[in-house]
Structure formats: C-alpha cells, structure tokens
Structure 1
C-alpha cells in the first residue's frame, strides 16, 4: 500500500506540472516515476533459511524515484513571456493520458490491497469466535 501511495503522489505531481512552462531545457520539470522491487520476507524472520522457491511473504518496496528521459516538448511561442531568444518555450515530458492511466492503476491496486486487508481482518475475527 505504501508503494502505491508513492506512485499516486508522483503521478499527481506529474499531472500538476504537465503544463508548466520554462525558458530553458535545464530548468523545465521532468516527469518522475517510482521504481519498485519485489521483496521476499520469510515468515519466521530468518532470511537465510528461505529456500529458493519459498515466497512465503511477498511485498513491494520503492527503490527510488527517477526522472523520465523522454524528450521535452519545445513549442514555438515567440509572444510567451518565457520564450527563449529563438522563440521556443519548454514544456515537461509528461503525457497526461499516460499519467491518468497510471493514477487509475495505482488507485485500484491500493483499493484491492485495502480489501484484502479487510477480508483478512474479518477472517481472523471469525476464527477467534469459533472457540466460543
């Protein structure tokens, strides 16, 4: 859930800055994306006792956030206040449609994780009432 929260925040940041203009390629906002990695945890807490095929507890951790290397958008707008000496204004390399797709995916993944947690909680509560 934490990883999807980071993904939602970076996507929201990208969408918020999608139309921010700049006068140079060095200062323009660049799209950011979270990098995930699978993390395996042994249920007993001993990572050295885990066999190669044992995936008793699998999760996702965020390795970091990287900037996109997609090309920036250069638009010829000579009347824009941030236009350079050639009349170009630089815009971020953010595709709003792609970012909205990422946001929907992250939101649904987060929602599914919440439902799994709630189902697990209900199952544990029912197991505890079996002895009564």
Structure 2
C-alpha cells in the first residue's frame, strides 16, 4: 500500500470513529430527560491494518455513575417518598464532547481532502 493509501485509510477510519461518537453524544442529549437512562460512551482503539495505523471504535459502554434522584410526587415512576431515578447525562459534558468530535471530524476531513489533492497532483505530474 502506498503512503497515500495509508493516509486515506487512517483519515477514513477516524471519520467513522468520530461519526460514531457524535451519534452516541446525540443519543445522550436526546435522552437526557429519560428516567433511568445511562450515558453511553464509545472508546477508540488504535489498530494496525496492512501497515496503516487506523482507529476503530470499541464496544459501547454505559456510564455507571449514580442516576439523579428527582423529586416529583406526581410522576408515574415516583416511589413512596415522591422521588424517581432520572438520567446521569450532563448536558455540558455532552455539548463539549460534541464540539470536540465535530472539530476532530473536520480535521480528519481536511486531512483526507489534502491527501486526495496531493495524489491527484502527483498523477497529473506523472501524466506529463
């Protein structure tokens, strides 16, 4: 495999990984008010395939921090004390994770595009 192919493979794998991360962050944000919902995280793992260093996502993990206790005696899930279990999603953390994933995605997209442009320029030079 050429260096261009290695670079394209690495960038493409990072794009897939960041897209998966964004998908889980958006699930967390949309379920922030769902009783009993646990925050999902996705770890990244470095993998070497055909001489190229790539990124893959690991298994989705649930955050085992305590769920928030919410006082609402009128809620259908409330116990005898008037509390029910909320989610353990912190919107500030999710927004920060979304921004980081978005910026990483954009950086990898630029890297992919730069590699593609350099490869195209090299092909043009070789044709002459």
Q: TM-score scaled by structure 1?
A: 0.80
Which structure is higher in helix share? 2
Question: How many angstroms apart in 2 are the aligned matches of 1:81 and 1:67?
Answer: 25
Moved segments of 4+, more than 4 Å: none
The residue aligned with 2:32 is 18
CA contact (8 A) 1:8 1:103 kept: yes
How many residues get paired?
Answer: 113
Question: How many angstroms apart in 2 are the aligned matches of 1:9 and 1:42?
Answer: 28
Question: How many angstroms apart in 1 are the aligned matches of 2:114 and 2:63?
Answer: 37
CA contact (8 A) 1:32 1:65 kept: yes
Does 2:67 match 1:72?
Answer: yes
CA contact (8 A) 1:36 1:64 kept: no
Does 2:128 match 1:120?
Answer: no
Is there any run of 5+ residues in structure 2 with no aligned partner, and where?
1-14
Secondary structure in 2 aligned to 1:37? strand
Is there any run of 5+ residues in structure 1 with no aligned partner, and where?
22-27, 44-56
Secondary structure in 1 aligned to 2:43? strand
Work out which of the residue numbers 32, 46, 56 in structure 1 matches 2:40.
32
Does 2:15 match 1:7?
Answer: no
Question: How many angstroms apart in 1 are the aligned matches of 2:47 and 2:96?
Answer: 25
Deviation at 1:82, TM superposition (A): 2.7
Q: TM-score scaled by structure 2?
A: 0.83
